Amino acid sequence: MQRCALTLVLAFSSAALALDNGLMRTPPMGWLAWERFRCDIDCQNDPQNCISETLFTDMADRLAEDGWRELGYVYINIDDCWSSKERDNQGRLQADPKRFPRGIPRLSRYIHDRGLKLGIYGDIGTHTCGGYPGTTLDKVQTDAQTFADWGIDMLKLDGCYSNSTYQELGYPMMSKALNATGRPIGYSCSWPAYQGGLPPKVNYTQLGQICNLWRNYADIQDSWDSVLGIVDWFFENQDVLQPAAGPGQWNDPDMLLIGDFGLSLDQSRAQMALWAIMAAPLFMSNDLRTISSGARAILQNKVAIGINQDQRGVQGRRLIKEKSGIEVYLRPLSNGASALVFFSRRTDMPYRYMTSLKTLGYTAGVYEAFDVFPEKRLPELKDTTEFVVSVNPSGVVMWYIYPAADWWKGAEPSRFSEKLIGPKFHRYANEAYAPLVL
């Protein structure tokens, strides 16, 4: 086994370290099972919520019928615990026959017929984190080809039951193996999360050459403390992380909790806004069959999505961290636009924060602003004009800002989101319904 694995490593080592799949030029969007449904395999007692074909077809129906797909939420991603405990007699992974009785290829066709894409989960170790068969080095090519044969569109490759040496070999090998199948398959690597997320152990230049996105940090949990911990880590290390992101290669702070149990509506808006500033993948992990109207409105906010999907692909930064508990974040966007987020860590009452665009580094001029979550256009602002924003505890105010002389000046506020993300969308063959930025 070890000798075979070393032969495969040598065979792959002569190829250039390049993913070269042309995918995910803006952060991918969709739905992912893990945070909400974990490893629930009790289909006898919990048939609607267990990891099964039914769960994924239900979510596909909701994405296709409830307006999600048209906004860019196109991936339906299976996570751990989907497979049989044993490979088949040809050494290939296989789905659990009771929970996926028609197999993954049939599920893939169901997803594709609805204009969506299917993601799947693997692990570059002896076992997945849930104890299912992993992808050892001698199985990398087999598993990559199996996923391609099944019509898979994205692979999340975890790192349980492996070590740093194995990961250093396995993650690049899988990148090349996916490319070699000839099927475009987006590649999510958990490698940096297992190496502390920072140089020198993590080489972000190399990651950008082999992965479309990567998990940098610990798994998100359904709590505000978890969100704050992730935000702190990402922005405290922004000088390292921000330059690594760009079209086709994204830092991934993990799933959106909006619509679950742990966040208030203000906290949900804050997560959506901060993930948009980070140019983060937008993978919801919730129950779309029962989601509240308030959570839906946040996740389907066209301007927040348009900011996240900006084609320039520059990750934003934290500008200011005030003693008052107010923080200010900025993301530069295409065509001279930008997004500002005023975020409150306070827990007492709304806080009135005064500043000016000049103070925040804007050049001299007159600007238009659009308040993202109330969806309202604001009066013109000179760079020197002081203004006040009232930020709720653990909440945000998010603005889209554009020089006043340019293209959306004079547009009706109700038409603003169309100006930002466009009224038309790419079809499936061109990254399925990714919003256009006009």
> Which has the closest alpha carbon to 432: 33, 114, 104?
114
Q: Which residues contact 362 (CB under 8 A, 6 or more apart)?
A: 338, 383, 401
List the structure tokens of 176.
């090349």
Catalytic member of 79, 158, 254, 310: 158
Q: Is 158 a catalytic residue?
A: yes
Strands (E) in 171-310, as ranges, are 186-189, 213-215, 250-252, 282-284
Secondary structure (H, E, C), 161-181: CCCHHHHHHHHHHHHHHHHHH
**Cβ–Cβ < 8 Å for 128, 80:** yes
Can you give the length of the chain in residues?
Answer: 438
Of the residues 66, 149, 219, 222, only one is catalytic, namely 219
Provide Rg for the chain, Cα atoms: 22
Measuring CA to CA, which residue among 91, 107, 193, 79 is closest to residue 140? 91
Handedness of CA 386, 392, 398, 404 (dihedral sign): negative
CA distance 422 to 382: 27
Cis omega before residue 200 (within 30°)? Answer: yes
Compute how many other C-beta atoms are within 10 angstroms of the C-beta atom of residue 364: 9
Residue 301 phi, psi dihedral angles, 5° rounding: -70, 115
The answer to whether 95 and 78 are in contact (CB under 8 A) is no
| Strands annotated E in 163-284 | 186-189, 213-215, 250-252, 282-284
Which pairs count as long-range contacts for 1-4, CB under 8 Å and 24+ apart, including other chains?
1/136, 1/138, 4/138
Q: Are 111 and 56 in contact (CB under 8 A)?
A: yes
Give dist(CA 162, CA 435) in Å, integer.
38
Contacts of 87 (CB under 8 A, 6+ apart): 93, 94, 133
Active site residue 113: no
Q: Which residues are catalytic?
A: 158, 219
